[in-house]
Amino acid sequence: MSQSKVLIAENDTVLKSIFATEMTRQIRAIDTYGTYDNLSVVEILEPFVLTKEMKREIPVIGDPDEIILSRVKGFYNAIASMIERECGLMAVPLLNLSYEGFGRVIITVGKLVVVDKSLRDVHRFGFPSLEKMKENADKILMTALGIIGAHGDVANL
Amino acid sequence: MSQSKVLIAENDTVLKSIFATEMTRQIRAIDTYGTYDNLSVVEILEPFVLTKEMKREIPVIGDPDEIILSRVKGFYNAIASMIERECGLMAVPLLNLSYEGFGRVIITVGKLVVVDKSLRDVHRFGFPSLEKMKENADKILMTALGIIGAHGDVANL
C-alpha cells in the first residue's frame, strides 16, 4: 500500500470535527505500545482512507491482522463515544469476527441495540475519503440516536 | 483432566430435557470435523461438568483454546435456541473474548439485548453438575423471556 499519495489534506476541515478528534482519541487509547504517540492526526487517520485501487490490491485471504482490527475497533469505539456524548448514556461496542474477515459489530445502550452491522472483507476496511468516513459515522450516529429516542426506556435499563 | 470419574449418570433425567437436546444439537452443529459424530449425549456433555478440584487444575494462562470456545458457544447457542422456541423470534448470540479468558457474551432478539454477561476465566468454563448447568441455563432463559415480555416492541424490531 503506497503512502506516497496525499489522501488527507493538512487543512481538511473534517480534521477539526468531533468525529476526527474522537477517532484519534480512540486509536491512541487502544495503542498499547505507543506506536502512534508521535503521529499527527493526519497520519493516524490516513490508513482509513483507501481508494478503490488500493482496496483491490489488498488480498482477502485468511484472518485480518491486529492492525486492521484496531482500525475497525477505533472507528466503532469513536461512534460509541459520540453516542455517549449525545445521549449521556453508556454505549458499549462489541466486535466479533467469525472468520476470514466476516463478522458483526454491535453497539448497545442499556438493553437497546443501537448499531448492528454485518462486516465483510474487513481486510479492506476503509473509506474513499475522510469526508466519506465522517459521513458514514454520522449516519450510523443519527440512526442510533433515533433508536434511543424512540425507546428511551430500554436504553435506560 | 481425568475422565475416569463418572460425572454424569447414564440415567440422569436432565439428559432427556430440552436443554440437553439443544446443547447436543448445538455442539454437533459447530463440530465442523465430525469429531463428535460417534459420541453419546453423555460423552458430549461430560466436558461441561467440572468439579472444583478439576477447575483448580486448569491453568488460567494465555487465551483459551478452540475446544473451550466451542463449549462456551455451544452453551449460549443452546440458550439462544431455547429463547427462539419460547418466543418465536430469532435470538442471535454474540461472543467476544478480549484476552486471556475475559470476554462478554450477549444474545439479542430484534433490537433488544436479552442476555448480557461478562465472562472471566473462560479456560475453566464448566458447571459443578449437569443439573446445575441446566439450572443456570434455565435462569438465563427466564430472565431473557422476562425482558422480551416487558419490551415486546423492541424485540420485534
CB-based contact, A72 to chain B, within 8 Å: no
Kindly report the nearest CA distance between residue B105 and chain A, in angstroms: 9
From residue A137, how far is each of A28, A77, A133, B22, B121 by CA, in Å? 18, 11, 6, 39, 35
- What pLDDT shows up at residue A4? 55
Write out chain A's pLDDT in tens, 157 residues: 444 567 888 888 899 999 999 999 999 988 778 788 888 889 999 999 998 999 989 888 888 888 888 899 999 999 999 999 999 999 999 998 877 788 999 999 999 999 999 999 899 999 999 999 999 999 999 999 999 999 999 999 8
How many other C-beta atoms can be found within 10 angstroms of the C-beta atom of residue A8? 21
Kindly report the nearest CA distance between residue A142 and chain B, in angstroms: 16
Instruction: Give the C-alpha separation, A61 to A124, whole Å.
Output: 11
Judged by CB atoms closer than 8 Å, whether chains meet at B106 and A111 is answered as no
Return the residue of B nearest to A147 by Cα: B111
**B110-140 confidence digits (pLDDT tens):** 999 999 999 998 999 999 999 999 999 999 9
- Nearest CB among B94, B116, B154 relative to A154 is that of B154
How many other C-beta atoms can be found within 10 angstroms of the C-beta atom of residue B4? 5
Task: Return the residue in B111, B116, B151 with the most chain A beta carbons within 10 A, the one to mutate for interface testing.
Answer: B111
**Which of B70-108 are b and which e, b meaning 16 or more Cβ less than 10 Å from the residue's Cβ?**
bbbbbbbbbbbbbbeeebeeebbbbbbbeeebebbbbbb
- Nearest CB among A94, A151, A153 relative to B106 is that of A94
Cell numbers standing for residue A1: 500500500
Instruction: Give the C-alpha separation, A37 to B37, whole Å.
Output: 52
Q: Which of B110, B2, B112 is closest to B54 using CA atoms?
A: B2
Cell numbers standing for residue B45: 456433555
ipTM above 0.85, yes or no: no
- What pLDDT shows up at residue B106? 96
- What pLDDT shows up at residue B2? 47
Cβ-defined contacts of B42-45 (< 8 Å, 24+): B42/B8, B42/B10, B42/B12, B42/B15, B45/B8, B45/B15, B45/B20, B45/B130, B45/B133
Do A85 and A18 touch, CB atoms closer than 8 A? yes
